[in-house]
Amino acid sequence: MTTTDSSATPQTPKGKRRIGDVVFANTASGSGILILAILAGVAAFLIIQSVDSLGANTANFFTTTGWDANTREAPAFGVAALAFGTVLAAAIALLIATPIAVGIALFIAYYAPRKLASVLGYIVDLLAAIPSVVYGLWGIGYLVHQLTPFYQWLSTSFGWIPLFAGPVSSTGRTMMSAGIVLAVMILPIITAISRDVFLQVPQAHREAALSLGATRWEMIRMAVLPFGRAGIIGGAMLGLGRALGETMAVAMILSPALVISPHLLQSGNQTIAAHIALQYPEATGYGVSALIAAGLVLFAITLVVNMGARYIVARRKEFTE
């Protein structure tokens, strides 16, 4: 490449370069640049195609809850309810999944026998490989029926908390169900990242703790958790990114309504992604463009969350290397 030749003999620029090398190197870097272009293209095309409807929108896009976009005359739509639902579903999923995922990661890293640990690695990967539509089918076709009695109990015992207020949906097609299925779906990624970080904890730190007579839990608390905190946070944020963007599980399970409601055991609420999937086939007028605008919001949210997560995980890496 452009390293030595020029400095050795400053008067001439470069030695001979072979045609094969030039073509190959340029194809390789061209592919990389193409990826940047695709990502830029995603943003650009979403913006271009959403301008149309946003210009015609007669309501405030960010504060309106309704979705009256399938018309050419005075559309009025907004993402307020959708954004709320998206964050709510993801928050439920994250609250359930993170502690369990950290527990599994600790189990794989420090509790399970070596052989079992690698099998568990497989199983976590397998959990990640199951298509989301199958999770959705399992959720709607099986899980919601199992959960309804539990919801009944939750509502009678803790109904005074608004989150669990009745009347409980008889179908179980609620935000809580969607959140639980999302939690199962994001378990693998949080587990995988936490486990990787735990395994990076220098042996010396761990042995130092153990040689002081610490119990396994004390070793984890003293040596592993402080070291792995950024990794757990980063992993959780990646899980959050996935939960925010997950479509099928919510679209299939939730019985939607464009409202902002805190009642997790009743039907209602809706997420951006599920709304797009459900509305798109019937969209007319400004409909498609309005959905693209909603998609742009989702894209922006997940972009911020993912970049934050990557930043945290990457900084963690620099520390350890």
Query: Which residues inside 138-167 make contact with another protein, applying CB under 8 A?
Result: 138, 140-143, 146
Cβ of residue 174: shortest distance to another protein, in angstroms? 17
Q: Is 226 in the site for another protein (CB under 8 A)?
A: no
Question: For the purposes of burial, counting CB atoms within 10 Å of the CB of 29, is it exposed (0-12), middle (13-18) or buried (19 or more)?
Answer: exposed
Distance CA 291, CA 297 (A): 10
Per CB under 8 A, the list member of 65, 155, 169, 191 interacting with another protein is 191
Q: Binding segment for another protein among 38-46, 55-63, 155-163, 168-176 (CB under 8 A)? A: 38-46
Per CB under 8 A, the list member of 60, 170, 212, 315 interacting with another protein is 212
Length of the chain counted residue by residue: 321
Q: Is 21 in the site for another protein (CB under 8 A)?
A: yes
In angstroms, the Cα distances linking 138 to 104, 120, 225 are: 23, 22, 35
Q: Is 56 in the site for another protein (CB under 8 A)?
A: no
Q: Is 254 in the site for another protein (CB under 8 A)?
A: no
Helix axes 225-245, 175-200, angle to 10 degrees: 140
Q: Binding segment for another protein among 8-16, 55-63, 162-170, 193-201 (CB under 8 A)? A: 8-16
Instruction: List, in order, residues 6 or more apart from 98 with CB less than 8 Å away.
Output: 190, 232, 236, 239
Per CB under 8 A, the list member of 41, 66, 162, 167 interacting with another protein is 41
Q: Is 88 in the site for another protein (CB under 8 A)?
A: no
Per CB under 8 A, the list member of 23, 74, 95, 161 interacting with another protein is 23
Q: Binding segment for another protein among 4-12, 159-167, 193-201, 260-268 (CB under 8 A)? A: 4-12
Nearer to another protein, 264 or 294 (CB): 294
Phi and psi for 10 in degrees, rounded to 5? -60, -25
Contact in structure between 275 and 63 (CB atoms under 8 Å): no
| CA dihedral angle for residue 291, residue 297, residue 302, residue 304, rounded to 10 degrees | 160
Distance CA 279, CA 68 (A): 11
Cβ of residue 19: shortest distance to another protein, in angstroms? 10
Nearer to another protein, 42 or 163 (CB): 42
Per CB under 8 A, the list member of 202, 207, 218, 320 interacting with another protein is 218
In angstroms, the Cα distances linking 45 to 33, 39, 75, 150, 234 are: 18, 10, 21, 45, 29
Which tokens belong to 298?
A: 């989702």
Q: Is 4 in the site for another protein (CB under 8 A)?
A: yes
Q: Binding segment for another protein among 58-66, 131-139, 195-203, 255-263 (CB under 8 A)? A: 131-139
Contact in structure between 86 and 301 (CB atoms under 8 Å): yes
Q: How many residues bind another protein (CB under 8 A)?
A: 108
Phi and psi for 266 in degrees, rounded to 5? -110, 160
Q: Is 213 in the site for another protein (CB under 8 A)?
A: yes
Tell me the three state secondary structure of residue 87: helix
Nearer to another protein, 127 or 165 (CB): 127
- Asked if omega into 167 is within 30° of 0 (cis), the reply is yes
Which tokens belong to 113?
A: 């026998």
DSSP-assigned beta bridge partners for residue 76: 68
Q: Binding segment for another protein among 69-77, 161-169, 261-269, 288-296 (CB under 8 A)? A: 288-296
Tell me the three state secondary structure of residue 178: helix
Q: Binding segment for another protein among 60-68, 154-162, 163-171, 294-302 (CB under 8 A)? A: 294-302
Cβ of residue 113: shortest distance to another protein, in angstroms? 13
Q: Is 222 in the site for another protein (CB under 8 A)?
A: no
